Structure 1
Amino acid sequence: LRQLMQDHLDLRARTEEAAARISAGQPAVRGPEGQTRTWRESNHPRWLTCVFGPVRVNRIAYRGRGVSNVHPADADLSLPAGRHSRGLARLAVLEAVRGSFDQAQAAIERRCGRVLGKRRLKELVVAAAVDIAAYYTAKIPTPCTREMPLVIQVDGKGVVMRPEALREATRRAAAKTAAAGRRGRLAPGEKPNRKRMATVACVFDTAPAPRRPHDIVHPPGGRSETRPPRAGPKAERKWCTASVIRSPEQVVADAFAQAEARDPQHLRDWIVLVDGARHQLDLIHTEAARRGITAHVLLDFVHVAEYTWTAAHAFHPPGSREAETWAADRLTAILAGHADRAAAEMSAQAAAEQL
């Protein structure tokens, strides 16, 4: 594949040379500043590292006194300013968002060989993200009907930081923990006093998708094959933002501003999806009241299911049929609109267990 890429570039170089000889009397090439390049010089090479490996690009340079060279072939091939191709930059971004930079570099090396160092990998990822804000600013939301709900989703994500990047209170707590000595063992996933909380928000449109409780939670004995589960809603025209630097108030306000740009007259049903964090709920209610918006706040069912399964394992052995049946009954009742009754039954059972 690398040789095929090289042969393609060589053929383009010969074609460009032949076309230049035919059009020798045509107007000269102009640079980005408008100045004419009156001289033409063939065989100007540059290296390009792509997903198949390094290749050599020969092209014609159009030159002028006191100005930089112009290479029309670079624009025709959409070559980047640096050495690494846009395909390799795209691969770097796709791998970087899945894990650490070390893991991304290892994944690229397994696929493409040693074509990219860790420092250059970071530079490609940063360069790919510089125009995200401008892209969202220029993007015009697609109009929707009043029957299409407008959804705002807000969540928090702890991000492990270097010690000097921690917030002051967290840094002092980390120093105090370090002075007290190391603990023998941490809980799974625990990273005490090493994180900053990033606020993540998303705005999207979705078409209503009515479902039954058993479409989401299967009965303990399994679903019947005679009635397949209905498909859930699909997010469309997503807008996402996240920040570990800006305050949660600013991120929530940005999300509401994006939603209001899609529905300035507040004619659609506004749904806010949260994980139950009290601080986020306070910010959402405050922002909605400030803008005069009636929002329907929904608790993410995944978090509800996690808490319900924790309670099921407190009453029954983990992995048992009894725990599965117990959790399925409560989750089905919650989806059917009987959350108060399910919570009361859990409290009563917990009180009975203590007795």
Structure 2
Amino acid sequence: MEPYDTASAAGPFAASTSLFSHLIDDLHDPASQYLTHDELEELLDDRGRALLRQLLQDHLDLRAQAEESAARTVPSRPLGPDLIPRPRLEGGHPRLLATVFGKVTVSRCAWRAPGRPNCHPADAALGLPRGRHSFTLGKLAALEAVRGSFDAAAEAIGRRCGKVIAKHALEQQVLAAAGDIDAFYRARVAVPAAAATLLVISVDGKGIVMRPEALRAGTARAAKRGRAMRTRLAGGEKSNRKRMATLAAVYDAEPAVRRPHDVIAPPGGRSGDRTLRPGPKAQLTWLTGSVKRDAAEVIADAFRVVEDRDPGHRRTWVVLVDGAPHQIELITAEAARRHAPIHIVIDLVHVLEYLWTAAWCFHQAADPAAEDWVAGKALAVLAGRAEAVAAQITEAANAAGLAEADRRGADKCVQYLTGKQEYLHYEEALAHGWPVATGVIEGACRHLIADRLDITGARWGLEGAEAVLTLRAVMANGDFDRYWRFHTARERDRLYPRPEQRGFALGA
């Protein structure tokens, strides 16, 4: 029997068929019987990637042949982006495309007109990107870069795809990947909920170490003034290397009525078998953050999402904060602008920290009695007696005859409890089933910023930090795949607009 001519039968895919046949032959070779499983995996990974790259190249070449044949048979004189006809046809105009399989060459026809840029209809048909890196490679770059350093991302992509993207190009891909996040969320349709379901907003801030040119003006001026000592910070000095990022979370929660003892164990610990009532659980959490925009803009975005979920203001809006006066002012102003009633609650954990600071004014270090002291005061605060607790602490400090330096922690606690009195009505919050802790946004600060933007040695430019922060928020929201489809569709519309699409916005 004559051997089967695979190359002739394969036609335009002859090169791919040849690679596949050689791979099959190598796997049939008796020497392959001595390969370990990991050696087989590495062989197939390397040769399989080469096969997939060749399949892609052969398909692109087939499309190029079909395009040129059709164009010469029935020339259509396409219009360029300027709506001017391109009457002259030239074939064989190549461009490189870096893909997850490796680098390929896209050959296409060019339609030309004197004094006008060439028109390449195949670019639109293939939806080719602006540069040489495919959208799939851009997606991989974004996914890898938000997990670890850019160096680590470039190395990971190199191991999987070969030398298809340099570190600088990867950084540019990440910047481009974040370009449509605001538009994506503005196009989202909110999920309806019952009027009894709570709407919770939580806001916090965290500093990111920036390059000098990316600092805010005030921080940059402070950094230029220099330090009192060359080798370390003096007392009260700051490093002036950070720019504050603002993060916001919005989530739904079903009310969960509790008692103070459900939140804080009584002095001496819990006894008996009384079942604790759980607190409200966050649902449909949406996170956002920005180091580029100011806090007012981020807070406005959070309120926009809340209003999209509850345009009629039928639901209860609870705002959890850490007590920063500037944040409270911005939140109050935004709520007033939208004529929305809100209930501001200060995070209980921050109150507990002040109570612990006061406790060490009256107890020795590691004294177990301090824990019971804090528990008793915290239960009183949860019962709505913050003002009475402040008075008790002041009275105790006076009775103990503490010197000014020794009572500083107690005085700070008293000042905090009295200054934030209007936001410490925990008895109302517990009775209505509202949350009283900012665990969601605190976790977001750790996940979105500390786990990536605060890695050792990192110093950020403004655009890079913004892109990584916003992409991590999209991923934390579980929206990345939907966002990527939205982003690539918008990018193709920008590159290859069609007349029938003008005046229409893409929905998320």
1:238 aligns with 2:280: no
1:268 partner SS: coil
- Distance in 1 between the 2:50 and 2:324 partners? 55
- Distance in 2 between the 1:89 and 1:271 partners? 38
1:109 aligns with 2:161: no
1:307 aligns with 2:354: yes
Q: 1:182 aligns with which of 221, 230, 246?
A: 230
1:90 aligns with 2:142: yes
Q: Unaligned regions of 5+ residues in structure 2, if any?
A: 1-44, 403-508
Asked if structure 1 preserves the Cα contact closer than 8 Å seen for 2:144 and 2:156, the reply is no
Larger radius of gyration: 2
- Distance in 2 between the 1:110 and 1:331 partners? 49
Compared with structure 1, are the counterparts of its residues 18 and 185 closer, same or farther at alpha carbon in structure 2 (3 Å cutoff)?
closer
Alpha-carbon deviation of 1:338? 4.6
Compared with structure 1, are the counterparts of its residues 304 and 122 closer, same or farther at alpha carbon in structure 2 (3 Å cutoff)?
farther
Map 1:111-260 to 2 at 5 A.
112-113=158-159, 117-178=166-227, 180-182=228-230, 184-185=232-233, 191-211=238-258, 217=264, 227=275, 230=278, 232-236=280-284, 238=286, 240-246=288-294, 248-260=295-307
Q: Unaligned regions of 5+ residues in structure 1, if any?
A: 97-102
1:95 partner SS: coil
Compared with structure 1, are the counterparts of its residues 214 and 32 closer, same or farther at alpha carbon in structure 2 (3 Å cutoff)?
farther
Asked if structure 2 preserves the Cα contact closer than 8 Å seen for 1:80 and 1:86, the reply is no
The aligned counterpart of 1:99 is none
- Distance in 1 between the 2:235 and 2:301 partners? 35
Structure with bigger RCO (C-alpha 8 Å, 6+ apart):
2
Alpha-carbon deviation of 1:135? 1.6
- Distance in 1 between the 2:272 and 2:132 partners? 58
1:140 partner SS: coil
Compared with structure 1, are the counterparts of its residues 21 and 197 closer, same or farther at alpha carbon in structure 2 (3 Å cutoff)?
closer
- Distance in 1 between the 2:381 and 2:321 partners? 17
1:5 partner SS: helix
1:294 aligns with 2:359: no
Alpha-carbon deviation of 1:276? 0.3
1:182 partner SS: coil
- Distance in 2 between the 1:134 and 1:68 partners? 29
1:126 partner SS: helix
Asked if structure 2 preserves the Cα contact closer than 8 Å seen for 1:93 and 1:124, the reply is no
- Distance in 2 between the 1:104 and 1:224 partners? 54
- Distance in 2 between the 1:223 and 1:82 partners? 67
C-alpha RMSD of the superposition: 4.5
2:320 partner SS: strand
Asked if structure 2 preserves the Cα contact closer than 8 Å seen for 1:159 and 1:196, the reply is yes
Compared with structure 1, are the counterparts of its residues 12 and 118 closer, same or farther at alpha carbon in structure 2 (3 Å cutoff)?
closer
Asked if structure 1 preserves the Cα contact closer than 8 Å seen for 2:97 and 2:132, the reply is no
TM-score, length of structure 2 as denominator length: 0.53
Give CA deviations for 1:206-259 in whole Å, capped at 9, x if unaligned.
Answer: 33344555665567758989957736421415252435444x444434443443
Alpha-carbon deviation of 1:297? 0.2
Asked if structure 1 preserves the Cα contact closer than 8 Å seen for 2:198 and 2:317, the reply is yes
TM-score, length of structure 1 as denominator length: 0.71
1:6 aligns with 2:58: no
Q: Identity over aligned residues, as a percent?
A: 36
Alpha-carbon deviation of 1:269? 0.7
Asked if structure 2 preserves the Cα contact closer than 8 Å seen for 1:174 and 1:193, the reply is yes
Q: 2:102 aligns with which of 49, 55, 58?
A: 55
- Distance in 2 between the 1:325 and 1:292 partners? 43
Alpha-carbon deviation of 1:295? 0.9
Which structure shows the higher helix fraction? 2
- Distance in 2 between the 1:350 and 1:112 partners? 64
Letter in 2 for 1:8: L
Give CA deviations for 1:112-151 in whole Å, capped at 9, x if unaligned.
Answer: 5476544333312211221122222222322322112222
Compared with structure 1, are the counterparts of its residues 57 and 162 closer, same or farther at alpha carbon in structure 2 (3 Å cutoff)?
closer
Give CA deviations for 1:300-345 in whole Å, capped at 9, x if unaligned.
Answer: 2332333334344554455664444444444455445554454444
The aligned counterpart of 2:317 is 270
- Distance in 2 between the 1:270 and 1:7 partners? 57
- Distance in 2 between the 1:116 and 1:216 partners? 52
